[in-house]
Every structure is written in C-alpha cells, then in structure tokens.
Chains A and B, each alone.
Chain A
Amino acid sequence: MTMLTVEGLRAGYGKVEVLHDVSLEVAPGKIVALIGANGAGKTTLLKTISGLIRPAAGTIVFEGRDIASRPAHKIVALGISHVAEGRAILKRMSVLENLRMGGYVRRDSEIESDLAAAMARFPVLAERRQQPAGTLSGGEQQMLAIARALVARPRLLLMDEPSLGLAPRLVTGIFRTLRQLREEGKTILLVEQNARQALQVADHAYVMERGRIVLAGTGASLLDTPEVQRTYLGRRAA
C-alpha cells in the first residue's frame, strides 16, 4: 500500500532533461528522505510532483490517481502541499494572511480553528500575526511556511530543504516538528542536504545522483552504507 508512486519520470527545464527515469514510492504515515548533492535533481523532482513542472514522461500516482501534468493549483486541492525551498512565504502579507492563504483550497468552516492550531504549534507566529511576514527571522519564516502548508490539511507534505540556512538549534527544532507531524499521521517526502539528520528521522530514503536514484533503503541502513558515509556524511572510509 503506497500513497505516492513515481515511475519512469523524466522532466526538466525546456529542452534540458534533469530527471532521467526516476522511480520512488512513499508509504502513508512515513517520512521518506531524498538526499543527494546540489544539482542532483531533488528540487526538480518535488516541483514535478507538485505540478510546477510538466513531466516529459512517466507517471505520478497519488492515492490511486495519476496526477502527472495536472496544474499545481489542482494538485494542492488533492492533498499534496509543497513547502518550497528558501522559505517561500509571502513577504508583503501579514503572518495571519499567509496562514489564511494556506487554507485557500478549503471551503469548510473549520479554517479558523486550524489557524488557531497552527499558531498554537508555533507560538511566535501568534505573537507576530499582524506583522508583515518579511520581517520575521529565517527560522520564523520556515515555521510560517510549514504552518501555512498544514492549514491546507494535506495528507502528503513535500519539504524542500527545511533546515537550509538555519542555526543548529533551529535545525533541531525543525526535525522535532517533522517527527511530531509523522506521529500525527502526516506523510512527508523530505529533501535535505543535511543527510545525517534526514536519514536519522527517515523511515525510508533514496539517494539521488545526476538525475537518477542510485541507492534506496531504510534510513538506518543507508546511515551504515559506506558509500553514503563517504559521500554524504563526510566520514572517511576505514
């Protein structure tokens, strides 16, 4: 039983193909990590799943439906939220308005209580709710980006480098949040350069190199794989 199945995916920018025949699976309720060097195609993969990039070939099946080449705004409505790289918050809008935008795809009446829940999860957002989001610190902006994605009530969260550029203490906080979300039943596909912490938190993981998946396994098994240790964990071969 999988939630997301990607098969034979080819995609890129214009004529430049970045992803060559990528396949992966994400099981419900798990954290799946995707690690790899800069330029390996991790971000491109997430953008293709969330509909920002149209694939040239392959299928993306989410909960039984092929979503490949559907537009991004329809994919969000199906239950996939993408927390983009670089804390893509709306800087000119207030913190509260950013959170409200998270509920843009919803039509039910429980949005207000979800806004309150989002601010309860990250109390600093409640304090700054009227402030323009651009005035928040980097860590606060990342919290806002995650909180905003949650307001959409997604079943699958795509997270692109949530720890990028944050101080170590804040990175720990972000990984704690990821674990909490899994306990609450969310499914997460996590792209990270911080390979060690990503593999520690992940149930399953894939390693990407130059647009291809080159290794797969449980997070723990990849932590013990010599090639992974050499290339991504900065440990010399014994």
Chain B
Amino acid sequence: MIYQQLINGLMLGASYSLIAIGYTLIFGVLNLLYFAHGEVFMVGAFVGLYLVVYGGANIYVALAGAAIACAALGIVAFYVSVRPVPKDRPLAPLISTIGLTIVLQNLAVYIFGGQQVAFPETIRQELYHVGPVTISSVQIFILVVAVAAMGGLWLFIERTKLGRAIRATAENHETAALLGVDVNRVVLVTFVIGSGIAGIAGVLDGVKNSGISPFMGLGAAVKGLVVMLLGGLGNVVGAMVGGLMLGLIEILSAAYIGTTERDLFSFLILILILLYRPTGLFGTRTAE
C-alpha cells in the first residue's frame, strides 16, 4: 500500500516539478512573479490534444509540438505582459500577467469550449505488477518523460555556456552584462525553456487524467507557486525536488487522512514555509 502511494505521489509530483521549473527560472532571472505560466500549461495540453485528434500525431509528436507551441507562446507572453511594464514597479508585472491569464483562459473557452474534453488514449494501457506495486505503462511513460526533461534541463543549466549565462543573469544583470552576456536574450531564453517545459507538462497531465479543460491552468499555477517557494525562489533543483515532495505529501495525506484535505495540506505547507523558512527548503534567496 505504502509503495503504491509513493509511486502515485511521485507521478503527481513530477508534473508539479515541471510547472515549477518555469516559474523558478523566470523568477530567477527577472525577480518577478509571472502569473500566466499556468495558462501556458493549459494551452500545451490543448495543442497536444489537437495534434493527436486532428493531426493523427503520436504522443511524441504531440509532446514536441506542444513544447514548441508553448515556447512560442512564452515569447509572446514576454513581449505582451512583461517587457513593456516598468521594472521599478514590482507589482506591475504581477498584475499584467494576471491580465494575460484572463485573456488566455477566455480565448481557450472561446476556441475549445468551456467543457472538459477527453484526452484520447495515446499509450496502450498495460499493467505491471512489481511485488506489491501495480504500475501502468502510462505512469511509466509520464515518469520517464518528466525525469528526462528535468535531467536534460539540469545538464543544460549546469554544464553549458548558455546555462552558465542564465545562472549569472539570475545573480546579477549588471555583472552578467559586463562579462558579455546579452541579458535580454537570456531572459527570452528562460521564457522559451520554461514555457516549453510547461507545454510538455500540459500534455502529460492530459495523458494522466485523460481529460483537460480551459480551467486547468489556475490550479497548476497555484501548485507551481507552492513548489517554487518550497524549493527556494530561483532554485531549479529545488523546484524539481520540491515538486516531487509536494506530490508525495498530497497523495499520502489523501490516502491516510482523507481525500478532501489534499489541497488543504499543500496550503498548510505553503504557510509553514513562509513562516519558518522563507528561503525555501533548499533556498538561497529570501522571499520578498
């Protein structure tokens, strides 16, 4: 029973991690809360769905297509809701990205309809029994894709020149610029990467829950924020681990305490973190 719950928790947490990565990357380089990220995730799910249903695409093409479409949407979001807003007003981009959230959500209702839409079966359901644990082919697929995306991102951030430039920009824009980093380009790159990963997360969510709706973004956005605070603002590895932890906590509390209290626990954790560890569990920076 406990092993089964651990697997379920990791599954849930992996998608939280993928969403939080985008938040934390963007917060890292710009020091701002970019609220429209949840809607990018939602759009990713619909792009995946349309590619499968109308394009006859397999799941890999759907994932790649959603990642590309969301990366493009991330660029648009940056130029529409972040770039034009004055940098010396910390609350302004929060408001403008909430505005973008409303626009995107309503556009999605207009285009896709306000109902929950079934996500077609793209992976043949098979169940494997490993000792006391039952794991499905869908679950394995989601875990593998999520872990691959996180591992790839980690290598990129830690080992490549552009990854170093992102970390330098996250520490200090002036210092990065004086070393030759084109800061505006790096900021745009983080929007592209964060949004692309959110697109992948959207499709995985569709595959997992077999249904998506234009309103799925808000819940994802809030969980992503909790995970970012849990892992420490701007800390990519923190977001990965924090997501898995939140998933485990939610599933275990649902299993042993009660399903209705699941979200209650994530917000309880948020409050505890803000009170006692505002830098996050692995944090390097204080929440302001």
Contact = CB atoms under 8 A, between A and B. Distances in A.
Tell whether A and B belong to one assembly: yes
Contact of B178 (A82, A91, A92, A93): A82
Interface stretch (B69-77, B101-109, B180-188, B196-204): B180-188
A51 B181 CA distance: 13
A88 B174 CA distance: 9
B175 interface: yes
B160 to A, nearest CB: 11
A69 to B, nearest CB: 14
B177 interface: yes
Nearest to A50: B178
Contacts, number: 60
Q: Determine chain B's interface SS by DSSP, over half rule.
A: helix
Contacts of B175: 84, 88-90
A31 interface: no
Contacts of A104: 161, 164-165, 179-181
A71 B177 contact: yes
Contacts of A148: 179
Interface residues of B, number: 17
Interface string A90-129: 1111000100111011000000000000000000000000
Contact of B177 (A72, A81, A89, A100): A72
A52 B179 contact: no
A101 B177 contact: no
Contacts of A72: 174, 177-178
Interface string B131-159: 00000000000000000000000000000
A152 interface: yes
A77 B180 CA distance: 6
A72 B172 CA distance: 14
A176 interface: no
B150 to A, nearest CB: 20
Q: Which of B161, B177, B183 has the most CB of A within 10 A?
A: B177
A73 interface: yes
A77 B179 CA distance: 9
B178 to A, nearest CB: 5
Contact of A52 (B167, B177, B180): B177
A93 B179 CA distance: 14
A52 B172 contact: no
A148 B165 CA distance: 14
Given A104-B161, A104-B165, A76 B180 contact: yes
Given A104-B161, A104-B165, A71 B182 contact: yes
A73 to B, nearest CB: 5
Nearest to A76: B180
A73 B167 contact: no
A129 to B, nearest CB: 15
A73 B181 contact: yes
Contacts of A50: 178
B182 A93 contact: no
B262 to A, nearest CB: 35
Given A100-B164, A101-B179, A88 B172 contact: yes
B177 A93 contact: no
Nearest to A88: B175
A88 B182 contact: no
Given A76-B178, A84-B174, 19 more contacts: A51-B177, A52-B177, A71-B177, A73-B181, A73-B182, A73-B183, A76-B179, A81-B178, A84-B175, A88-B174, A90-B171, A90-B172, A93-B167, A100-B164, A101-B168, A104-B164, A105-B179, A105-B180, A148-B179
The 3 closest A-B pairs by CB, nearest first: A105-B180, A72-B177, A76-B180
19 contacts: A50-B178, A52-B174, A76-B179, A77-B180, A89-B175, A90-B167, A91-B171, A92-B284, A93-B167, A93-B168, A97-B164, A101-B164, A101-B165, A102-B179, A104-B180, A104-B181, A105-B180, A148-B179, A152-B180
